[in-house]
Amino acid sequence: MPIMAVINVNGEIYMKKMVFSALFFISWLVFAQETTVIIAPFEAHSVVKEEDAQQIVSMFGEKFSAHTAVRVIPKSTLTRHLGKRAFFDRDWHNPSKAVPVALELNAGWILLGTLRETEGVFDVKIQALSSSGETAEQAEVSIANLNELDSKMDELVESVLIALGNDNTRMIPVAGDLFNIGDKGPAGGIVFYDKGSYKDGWRYLEAAPVEVEMSAEWGSFSKSVIGTKEEIGAGKTNTRIIYEYLKSYGEKGRAAQLCYELEYGGYKDWFLPSKAEMELAFSNLKQRGKGEFRNGWYWTSTSVRNDYALYFDFENGKQIIGQKDRKMSFRPVRSF
C-alpha cells in the first residue's frame, strides 16, 4: 500500500505517495560490463492516481532492468538488508542515509524517481545518486497519455543510462535466456514467436497455458474504439487502448479488460493478441499440436468498426469479423 509522506522540495510542502512497485523483485543480472543499481521507491505527487503511478513505475523497472549492462539489486536482498536498520522510504532522498546502503550492497548508483501529473500530462524524472554522493544529470520525459508508455520508457531508460555514462541501450530479457518455439516461457506459458533480436524491450511472445483460457464479450458494441492495429507487436498497445475505452464506457469483464488485469506466473503484463499475433499462435502452436487450443473461435484485440472485431477460427485458421457482443474464447499473451 502507498505510504503518504510530507516532503519539502525547494521550500514548498507537497503531499507525496511513496509508490511501491514490482521494481524490487527483479532477478540478479550478470554482464560483462556491470553497473549495479538500486531503484528506490518512486515519489508520486498526490494528484497522480495510484494505478497510473504503478503502471509507469513498473514499466520503467521492466525496461531498465532488461538492459545488458545493468544489475538491479533484488527486493529480497534489499529488504533483508534494510530490516537490520531503521531506514524509511523518505531516507532514500537523504544522501547521508542512502549512500551507506549503496556502499554496503556494492551498488554504484541509486535511482530516485518522481512522478507529477499536470492536466493529464505525466512528468517522470529520474535522478541518479552515486555511491560517492554525487548526482548525475537528471533524466526526464513527459507522457501525454499512458498509451505512450512503451516508447517513452525506452527514451527515459536511454537518458538514465547516458547519465550513468553507459550508452549501450540494447535490451535483453531479465533471465538472458534464448527460447525456441514451443518452449516454456518465463511466466509459464508457451513461446509462439521469436522475432530474432531484441527491439523495443522484447523479442518473444508467449501464450498463457490452457488453464488461463477464458471467454467473454469483446465489449463496446455499437461504440467506437479507435487506434487498434493488426500487426505483430500491436496487441499490448491495442489492449491498453481498449481497456481505457471500456473503462470510459463503464463496461467490465470484457476480454481485453480480463487480460489487462490478469496476474499469472508472477507477471501482470498480459494482453489480448492482435490479429497477426493470433495468426502466429494458430500456425506455430495449434497446427503443431501445442498449447491445447480448441477447435473454436478466439478473439483478437483488433477492432474493425463500431459493432465488429476480428476473431480467428482455430479449426481452420480463418479470420472472421464478429459482433463485439458475442461471447468467445480468448488466450492472454505477453511479450518478453
Report the predicted TM-score, pTM, of the whole model to 2 decimal places. Answer: 0.53
Q: Are 30 and 19 in contact (CB under 8 A)?
A: no
- pLDDT score for 34: 59
223, three cell numbers: 461504440
CB neighbourhood size of 247 (10 A): 12
Q: pLDDT at position 66, please?
A: 76
In the DSSP assignment, the letter for residue 93 is G
For 130, phi and psi rounded to 5 degrees?
-85, 165
For residues 151 and 158, give the distance between their C-alpha atoms in angstroms, rounded to a whole number. 11
**C-alpha grid cell for residue 308?**
465488429
Cell of 294: 480448441
Q: What is the CATH number of domain 3-163?
A: 3.40.50.10610
Tell me what pLDDT residue 69 has: 66
Residue 8: predicted pLDDT? 34
pLDDT for position 177: 54
> Would you list the domain boundaries of the chain?
3-163, 190-335
**Given this model, what pLDDT does residue 44 score?**
85
Q: Are strands 109-118 and 35-39 parallel, antiparallel or unpaired?
A: parallel
E strand spans, 20-152: 35-39, 42-45, 70-72, 109-118, 121-130, 139-143
**Tens digit of pLDDT at every position of the chain (336 positions):** 333 333 333 334 344 444 433 333 333 333 334 578 898 888 888 788 888 888 888 888 888 877 756 788 877 778 788 877 788 888 888 898 898 888 888 888 899 999 998 888 999 999 999 888 888 888 999 998 888 888 888 888 888 888 877 544 333 333 345 788 999 988 899 999 998 876 776 789 999 999 999 999 999 988 889 999 999 999 999 999 999 999 999 999 999 999 999 999 888 899 999 999 999 999 999 999 999 999 999 999 999 888 899 999 999 989 889 899 999 999 999 998
What is the structure's pLDDT at 166?
Answer: 56
